[in-house]
Amino acid sequence: MKVRYQYRIYPTSQQVKGLNQLFGCCRVVYNDALAIVRSVPQGEKWPSNAELQKLVITQAKKTAERKWLADVSVVPLQQSVQALGAAFKNFFESRSGKRKGSKVGFPRFKKKLNQQSARFVRTGFSLKGNKLELAKLGRFKVKWSRPLPSEPSSVTIIRNTAGQYHASFVVEIGSINIEPLRPSIGVDLGIKTFAFLSTGDRVESPGYNRLDRKTRRFQRKLARQVKGSKRRAKTRLRLAKLKLKTANIRKDFLHKTTTQLIHENQVVVLEDLAVKNMLGNRKLARAISEQGWGTARTMCEAKANMVNDREVRIISRWEPTSQICSDCGFRWGKVALSVRSILCVSCGTEHDRDGNAAKNIEKSGLGLTQDSK
């Protein structure tokens, strides 16, 4: 299977200028191709990827307005047009129902201040010792945090909003064999505690409060400053670095947590949470978005495919996991969120609300009845 390995790169000042020029060319080619497609009258056939490449790259280089496209490698420019084709494919498959997940919107024009990227295939890059060589850009210093498992088929150079540069390699890996410690586990995701496991263990999320307060303060400061001013640009960069730090902490925590769940359990059972609907609650929206429940589910499903004999099962969001005693199956009905401990009037067992839900999630995922007796 194909996976991505991402590394930090450190370009020189001259290479930064070259990368910025490349990102600008890729963005212009993408936007030009999208403008051509949008200008096609309704009912007429859209141009193919090959035709778009001829129009926005080959013929555009011969004009005075776009002659600077010849200063960069043609490989990432061609990949930009292919990326637009993939965006349209995702859009139409999402509309027809072939693509799962949330609906994908119609492709939009790329902006200069957003994250920038340029993709190179094998004809545009090579590995020379410990350095990465890109066509017309030279060799780059790479921070190799781990070795590549195989020869990469492509590399994407990324510049995030905080001004950092990364190289993302696509490599082929095989499945790994790890003996599980348990046959199954149920996971109840929450806000105060990130996850309560059916084994009785809790997984606490890292604290984001301090970074969140600083982020909101800089957001207010940014809103007051004049657009286009140097002070606003400086504040925007500091805000981007704060958000990146929060995202990195969350990503590191989710990777470690999901890896442990997949490696130690043969079957991981999760709830199908309607996160998008939950974010409509303005009192809990910030706390819910900080947890990254959707990302955790995606990571679990991806890592289950990387390990042999692993499975992630998703139960319906309408399962009454918090309304049933995991011991005797007695149903007590809905209980307010403020109630964290429940005493079953049938068997006399006192349950932690989340721990009881995690056990019921595991039973539902395994196809067992709620009444274990």
Is residue 371's pLDDT more than 70?
no
261 plus 328 within the same structural domain: yes
> What average pLDDT does the segment 17-23 reach?
97
Q: Which of 188, 290, 319, 362 is catalytic?
A: 188
| Domain total of the chain | 2
> What average pLDDT does the segment 315-326 reach?
88
- Single-letter code of the amino acid located at 368: L
pLDDT band at 369 (very low <50, low <70, confident <90, very high): low
Secondary structure letter of residue 322 according to DSSP: T
334 plus 197 within the same structural domain: yes
Range with lowest mean pLDDT among 15-19, 29-33, 150-154, 319-323 = 319-323
Q: Which of 271, 290, 319, 362 is catalytic?
A: 271
Distance in angstroms (rounded) separating the CA atoms of residues 163 and 243: 13
Six token digits for residue 31: 């936007």
21 plus 131 within the same structural domain: yes
Q: Which domain holds residue 269?
A: 177-372
Secondary structure letter of residue 324 according to DSSP: B
Query: Taking the CA atoms of the chain, what radius of gyration do you get in angstroms?
Result: 25
Enter the pTM of the model. Answer: 0.87
User: Above pLDDT 90, what percent of the chain?
Assistant: 75
41 plus 71 within the same structural domain: yes
140 plus 202 within the same structural domain: no
Q: Is 188 a catalytic residue?
A: yes
93 plus 20 within the same structural domain: yes
Distance in angstroms (rounded) separating the CA atoms of residues 141 and 164: 13
129 plus 182 within the same structural domain: no
262 plus 163 within the same structural domain: no
pLDDT band at 26 (very low <50, low <70, confident <90, very high): very high
218 plus 305 within the same structural domain: yes
What DSSP line would sit under 234-255, residue for residue? Answer: HHHHHHHHHHHHHHHHHHHHHH
Distance in angstroms (rounded) separating the CA atoms of residues 314 and 311: 10
Backbone angles phi, psi at 107, to 5 degrees: -55, 140
Q: What is the pLDDT of residues 194-215, one digit of tens each?
A: 999 999 999 999 989 999 999 9
Cα–Cα distances in angstroms (integers) from residue 351 to residues 54, 112, 365, in the given order? 67, 53, 20
| Domain boundary, last residue among 114, 144, 172 | 172
Q: Answer positive or negative: Cα dihedral of 90, 96, 98, 99.
A: positive
Is residue 372's pLDDT more than 50?
no
| Domain boundary, last residue among 146, 172, 198 | 172
Q: Is 354 a catalytic residue?
A: yes
Q: What is the pLDDT of residues 148-193, one digit of tens each?
A: 999 999 999 999 999 999 999 999 998 889 999 999 999 999 888 8
Q: Which of 32, 290, 319, 354 is catalytic?
A: 354
| Domain boundary, last residue among 123, 140, 172 | 172
> What average pLDDT does the segment 109-114 reach?
92
Check residue 347 and give its pLDDT.
Answer: 87
pLDDT band at 334 (very low <50, low <70, confident <90, very high): confident
Q: How many CA atoms lie within 13 A of 245 on its CB side?
A: 14
Check residue 373 and give its pLDDT.
Answer: 44
